[in-house]
A and B are shown apart, each in its own frame.
Chain A
Amino acid sequence: MFVVPNWFIGYDALTEAIFAVVTLLVSLLAFKIFKLTKSNNSKLLGFGFLFIAFSYAILAIFNAGNCFNLHESFCEITKWDPVMWYYVQLYIHLILYLLGLVTLVYMTFKTKSPKLYSLLILISALPFMFSLNFPHVYFVLSSVLLAYIFAFYLGNFFKNPNLHTALIMVAFTFLFIADLTYIFTMKSAMSYVIYHFIELVAYILILFNLVTIIKK
């Protein structure tokens, strides 16, 4: 699915591990806030970022294994087809990431409707099941979901302009741009690097926001 430059192998796993840690931190803090406030939106934010953290963790582990040629040994021992093994991990990553984004989009609606949530999940899963070109479908779908989340945080910034709302708004702008960049340049090896770099900037901004909140 991805065209990866040789020199970037290993660095991709490292950046994905950073994304997993940052999203996990957001999730843990959201659950802590939920414990104190019993706010349903905090719980949803926690679960949304937890799904995303797991999706990045799986990708990081897979790419780290790729770096040390662990997959070949694993497939030799288990007699699994390496291509099948690759797609299983990729699907788990993509499904968890989309589930995270769907949960965040549902959170922006600020409503308590399991029907709406299940409908969003179903709509996101359908093209996945019936499309032969699932990498493109995945990026188009995640871009649409990220566009919704970005619009929400843009509105949140205008409603309450301060450093924290600005950081989150800019971070989601970068995540949206990263996805768009990848849709149009999927076959280029350099786009894989740019995609990771833009996402890294976004997650550094989110981490910076967390640090400024916790430090006070």
Chain B
Amino acid sequence: MRKRNRLEIIYDILKAISNKNGTIKPTHILYKSNLSHKMMNEYLKELMDSGFIIENNTSSGKTYSITPQGFEYLNKYKMIIEFTDSFGLN
């Protein structure tokens, strides 16, 4: 099986959140993104720093919501992949 690159993993996480009406629990991200717990936390921190997702602390626990910038990433994903592939940026 081919190893996913960073951009594909980000897409998978954002897509998982988007498919759950924009908000998701970390356990679901772990299951959907197929990452280790440590790797998932690193990606979640990166996504929050980039403004793609926000963390919500609710009474039922921690959840993550996708931001408009995260949706923009999903919408432009095909363009991002084709551009990065063609110019060898991966």
Contacts and interface: CB of A to CB of B under 8 A. Distances in A.
B88 A156 contact: yes
A45 B69 CA distance: 22
A214 B80 CA distance: 10
A182 interface: no
B88 A209 contact: no
Interface string B43-54: 000100010000
A79 B29 CA distance: 69
A38 to B, nearest CB: 6
Contacts of A216: 78-79, 82
B7 interface: yes
A160 interface: yes
Contacts of A156: 88
A26 B69 CA distance: 22
Interface residues of B, number: 20
A41 B80 CA distance: 13
Nearest to A49: B87
A57 interface: no
A149 B56 CA distance: 46
Interface string A199-216: 000000000010011101
Contacts of B76: 36
A45 B85 contact: no
Contacts of B7: 37, 39
B72 A39 contact: no
Interface of B is mostly: helix
Contacts of A209: 86
A147 to B, nearest CB: 16
Interface string B61-90: 000000001001100101110111111110
B73 A36 contact: yes
A164 interface: yes
Contacts of B89: 33, 39, 41-42, 45, 107
29 contacts: A33-B80, A33-B83, A33-B84, A36-B72, A36-B73, A36-B76, A37-B10, A37-B84, A38-B46, A38-B50, A39-B6, A39-B7, A39-B84, A41-B84, A42-B84, A152-B88, A153-B88, A155-B88, A156-B88, A160-B85, A162-B85, A164-B85, A164-B86, A165-B88, A168-B87, A209-B86, A213-B86, A214-B79, A216-B82
Interface of B: 6-7, 10, 46, 50, 69, 72-73, 76, 78-80, 82-89
